[in-house]
């Protein structure tokens, strides 16, 4: 049985271990590629950039039977619907905002805390966490839990709000917590925390910025996105 043609194109889509959204043209390219492949697209246009990168990375490192978790995703997130469109069946999304558990096709949407989940150790081959950790997530507990539920060699793909210099948020709050826009120091600190739980960056860390591509209009804030991919060590740390 031949693979969906989209799989070959996405597997060949370059996905560095870390990247910063530099220009509008980058997310426009992601939107165009998703459209070309007849895949769901995110209504918030810049979010197509990190979603498609996560999709490409998952396709490179998993099979259609592999269990995949979207940690802190929403029902309007597209990473799991995109995977479903490409034949994946073992898909779960958890969020504390969900009122109970529901199912849509092959995707289970469950109430759940990403720092303390119900899943057994080694449950997932890949976990995505897109634009979540900036919203008051306790990173030490989060990385400990992500390491626990990932299989050895499994991939954790994270994106977050970002700029190379501190962005003044004026004490504004969103989702019940102070707004945080990560800096290079914050990202490096998060990666160091992850390493304590056997989660290692899969390549060089990219932190340089070009343009503030993202605008959060209700709060009058401008910044961009960064993503980084971590892999759980196949051998436990000594």
Structural domain boundaries of the chain?
A: 5-232
Mean pLDDT, to the nearest integer, of 36-49?
95
Return the DSSP state at 159.
Answer: E
Q: Which residues pair with 215 in a beta bridge?
A: 222
Class of domain 5-232: alpha beta
d(CA 126, CA 113): 17
Q: Which residues contact 170 (CB under 8 A, 6 or more apart)?
A: none
Per-residue pLDDT tens over the stretch 75-121:
999 999 999 999 999 999 999 999 989 999 999 999 999 999 999 99
Is it the case that residue 236 has pLDDT exceeding 80?
Answer: no
Is it the case that residue 11 has pLDDT exceeding 90?
Answer: no
Show the beta-strand stretches assigned E in 148-212.
150-162, 173-174, 177-178, 199-201
Note the pLDDT of residue 3. 54
Percentage of the chain lying above the pLDDT 90 cut? 86
Mean pLDDT, to the nearest integer, of 11-30?
91
d(CA 170, CA 148): 36
Confidence of residue 159 (pLDDT cuts 50, 70, 90): very high
Confidence of residue 225 (pLDDT cuts 50, 70, 90): very high
Is it the case that residue 37 has pLDDT exceeding 80?
Answer: yes
């Amino acid at each position: 049985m031949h693979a969906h043609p989209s799989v070959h194109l996405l597997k060949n889509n370059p996905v560095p271990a870390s990247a910063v959204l530099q220009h509008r043209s980058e997310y426009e390219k992601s939107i165009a590629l998703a459209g070309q492949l007849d895949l769901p697209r995110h209504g918030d246009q810049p979010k197509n950039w990190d979603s498609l990168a996560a999709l490409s990375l998952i396709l490179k490192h998993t099979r259609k039977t592999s269990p995949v978790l979207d940690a802190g995703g929403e029902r309007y997130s597209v990473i799991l619907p995109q995977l479903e469109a490409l034949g994946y069946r073992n898909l779960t999304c958890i969020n504390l905002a969900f009122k109970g558990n529901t199912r849509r096709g092959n995707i289970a949407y469950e109430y759940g805390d990403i720092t303390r989940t119900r899943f057994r150790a080694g449950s997932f081959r890949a976990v995505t966490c897109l634009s979540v950790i900036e919203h008051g997530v306790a990173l030490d507990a989060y990385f400990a839990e992500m390491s626990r539920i990932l299989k050895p060699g499994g991939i954790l793909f994270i994106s977050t709000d970002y700029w190379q210099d501190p962005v003044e948020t004026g004490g504004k709050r969103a989702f019940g917590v102070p707004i945080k826009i990560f800096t290079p120091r914050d990202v490096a600190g998060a990666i160091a925390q992850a390493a304590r739980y056997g989660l290692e960056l899969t390549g060089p860390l990219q932190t340089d910025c070009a343009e503030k591509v993202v605008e959060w209009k209700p709060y009058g804030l401008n910044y961009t996105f960064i993503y980084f991919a971590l892999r759980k060590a196949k051998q436990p740390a000594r």
